[in-house]
Structure 1
Amino acid sequence: MASKTTILMLGAALVVAGCAKKRPEVLPPAPGETAPPAGTGTGINDGSVGTGVVPGSAEDFRRSVQSDTVNFALDSYDIDPTARAILDGQATWLAQYPNVRVTIEGHADERGTREYNLALGDRRANSAKNYLAARGVDAGRITTISYGKERPLGGSGEAAWAADRRAVTVVIN
């Protein structure tokens, strides 16, 4: 009987040993050591190696474009030269990722009625959408929403109001 028990114990030990985790090819640094620079030793150079940023993601968009926000003058939804430069960068990024969808949020400052600011935010969002579409981005990939004055960045006064007059491009994939 002792031989059967010994054989069963040896068999169980072999099964457990066979299920042991394999050592990963690249080990994390030991405590106190520094990690190797991003992009080293992987053979991949897409700009996101070691950063944890997935190409085509919302984080990649924010890192790759000049800004996700264009600002507008008081009571305006016209695309000025600064906004053109920002939207041109967004259009270039969106061309690289044709399956990515975005929402453009239109905003207004706290002055004016709720209805007026919702309409103005809508015109701002659609103005940015139309500009991107004119630059070759499929309009079907772009949705718009107006928040009017409901989502201010905070504060009062001309500087805060200027920051609130905006259209923000948000990656939704």
Structure 2
Amino acid sequence: MLRKLALGLVACAMVAGCKGKQSQSDQSIETLPTGGQAAIDTSTYNPLGSDSGQIAGLVTVHFGYDKSNLDSKAKQDIATNVQWMKSNPAAKVQIEGHCDNRGTIEYNVALGERRANAVKAYMVSLGVAADRLSVISYGKEKPLESGDNEAAWAKNRRANFVPAQ
């Protein structure tokens, strides 16, 4: 009983810690003119429903059910994002790991972290400096689409990119 209580408290602390890291909504990241953009405008960033598209040029990476490995489509999407990062050498991004609504909170937080870290590792292997990338997992706490069907679940199994300091 004590063990379950301790595990529950750890899970709550992890979720609370993740939510505390998202207060970047009124900041912007300066980029060099070589990228064609003066800055990443974060004034339109919505921390309650974040997804890529908030930074033009970066695309969301999707995952299979209960997977954190990168398939060929994910690698292509990441390569696109790496090119954007190379064109905007001063930009820093946070990679958010997300899951669908199946599974426990603890499991999904861990899976979201593995997804975000897999994306980061691949980006680093393609030449992006690790200090320009940070990761966070929201597990199943920030779905992009609600619903209990494969179409909704597939959209929610993702790693997306938001501005970081």
| Aligned partner of 1:163 among 139, 155, 162 | 155
CA RMSD between the two structures: 2.2
- Moved beyond 2 Å, runs of 4+: 58-65
Q: Tell me the percent identity.
A: 43
| Aligned partner of 1:57 among 40, 43, 57 | 40
Alignment of 1:56-95 (within 5 A): 56-57=39-40, 62-65=55-58, 67=59, 69-95=60-86
Alignment of 1:1-173 (within 5 A): 54-57=37-40, 62-65=55-58, 67=59, 69-153=60-144, 154-172=146-164
Which of 1 and 2 has higher RCO (CA within 8 Å, sep 6+)? 2
* TM-score normalised by structure 2 residue count: 0.67
* Shift in Å, 1:171: 2.5
* TM-score normalised by structure 1 residue count: 0.64
1:116-154 Cα distance to aligned partner (Å, 9 max, x none):
000000000000000100010001111000000001112
1:57-105 Cα distance to aligned partner (Å, 9 max, x none):
258983334x2x1110011001111111111011011012221110000
Where do 5+ consecutive residues of structure 1 fail to align? 1-45, 49-53
Q: Which has the larger radius of gyration?
A: 1
Structure 2 distance, partners of 1:58, 1:87, is: 21
Assess, with a 3 A threshold, how the Cα gap between structure 1 residues 136 and 95 changes in structure 2: closer, same or farther: same
